[in-house]
Structure 1
């Protein structure tokens, strides 16, 4: 199995096999969906905290929470990616941390372009449910060529972002990423599409893991993988909407 999401790879659920004897029940798609909803609820809860601080003009108070959430979320994601069996404990912490960052950054952008945060939320979940229906109906199939293409595109995007970060240390930037011009918007739209396609790979990966008898505890890792993709998709949609609104 292959997924463009770095949190989900062919060896991920192998880490749970040693726990199978102690875990009498098996992973299910419904169970993974329920745990995904729990993670989303936790993220929304902490997002409301930083959102309200920014909305009330307390940017100085919100900033430490936002930065701390971003760093903590990144570190926790790395740990879970290498220690999948820790997901039942760390995935909720990841959701709480990401919520702190997302709530603050959403409020900042929404203050500049009123309404974009709500639009981004609607588009993110609308995309997820649309792709889920398309996947379940067979309209979209995660073939090997499809997986390879999305995996390669995801890696290319990661390389562009990494290059931008490195150049930033030297006072330079990649205009393609930040520009609100036609090419900048086209790039953001492309990234949104690739992020959305990663959801299809995640659906397929979780389905195959459930069919292959992964233990119940693996549901938390599957939910974490979906959260990683949803966070990425939401941020990219928010960036795209901000670029579009800045041209008005």
Structure 2
């Protein structure tokens, strides 16, 4: 014998059986029977309704990531433009604050919209100031770097969407090793600059033909990192992670784009330098 609680509840009844039931007019009053019929009709509509979308269930969607990323980039551009016009010398302040907030956000297990927003604003101050300085040295270099950044982003997205480049465990391992090598190389270059070894505006290892070659390698690494970012977002959407992690995805994309822009800016500066 079925459990009477479930058997008598319209919610747990099979909708086909419920449609075939007749109103028990002989045992209940008209008002009660009418209420039961109304409840059954409402439940029929619920069963026939389409399944809830990921947005309705609070899960991550591509639109969430796109909107959060666009918002952060818009904030970065606005603060960057303001810094360019009003106080380019604040770039060092933006660089330090952006670095600290970047590390904090990178190691947080749950995203903090406030901290991620502050990170975008700080990076806007940094990029606005440093871009203004580069523009005084080489007219039009910022437009070149921005267009190149957009082009690399579009190419990376095309390669990912077309399946021409797949994020496999081997691909990820190679990228990780290359990133570690690049980081070590950059630290060595900074140390040589601090101790006064060599010359060049960007350090002995980041100037001249060698600097261009290293910069191109960094651009390739940044493009590969974008592809990994796209794959991570895709897996997150397919896994149905909570919508709040759109902030994490947007933060990761902004970090990679900032790095890519700086590398391209450096390459153009070397190419146009004396």
Matched residue SS, 2:178? helix
Higher relative contact order (CA 8 A, sep 6+): 1
Alignment of 1:25-44 (within 5 A): 25-44=58-77
The equivalences for 1:222-241 within 5 A come to 222-241=249-268
Q: Equivalent residues in 2 for 1:179-198 (5 A)?
A: 179-180=207-208, 182-198=209-225
Matching residue within 226, 229, 233 for 1:206: 233
Runs of 4+ in 1 over 3 A off after TM superposition: 166-169
Kept in 2: contact 1:26–1:215 (CA 8 A):
yes
Q: Aligned residue for 1:111?
A: 136
Q: Secondary structure at 2:155's aligned position in 1?
A: helix
The corresponding residue for 2:103 is 78
Q: TM-score with structure 2 length normalisation?
A: 0.74
**Is structure 2 residue 237 aligned with structure 1 residue 215?**
no
- Residue aligning to 2:88: 62
In structure 1, the residue corresponding to 2:58 is in which secondary structure?
A: coil
Q: Deviations over 1:8-28 (max 9, x none)?
A: xxxxxxxxxxxxxxx951111
What secondary structure does 1:25 align onto? coil
- Superimposed CA distance per residue, residues 99-143 of structure 1 (whole angstroms, 9 cap, x where no aligned partner): 001011111111111111001001101111221122111122112
8 Å CA contact 2:192–2:204 kept in 1: the answer is: no
TM-score if structure 1 supplies the norm length? Answer: 0.82
Structure 1 residue 176 corresponds to structure 2 residue 205: yes
Name the CA distance, whole Å, in 2 between partners of 1:87 and 1:137.
33
Q: What are structure 2's unaligned runs of at least 5 residues?
A: 1-55
Q: Give the drift of 1:154.
A: 1.2
The structural deviation recorded for 1:165 is: 2.6
Q: Deviations over 1:21-59 (max 9, x none)?
A: xx9511112211110000000000010012113xxxxxx
Q: Which runs of 5+ in 1 are unaligned?
A: 1-22, 54-60
Secondary structure, counterpart of 1:142 in structure 2: coil
**SS in structure 2 opposite 1:175?**
coil
Please tell me whether the aligned partners of residues 84 and 221 of structure 1 are also in contact (alpha carbons under 8 angstroms).
no
What is the distance in 1 between the residues matched to 2:250 and 2:111? 13
Larger Cα Rg: Structure 1 or Structure 2?
2
Verify: 1:100 aligned to 2:133, yes or no.
no
SS across alignment from 1:140: coil
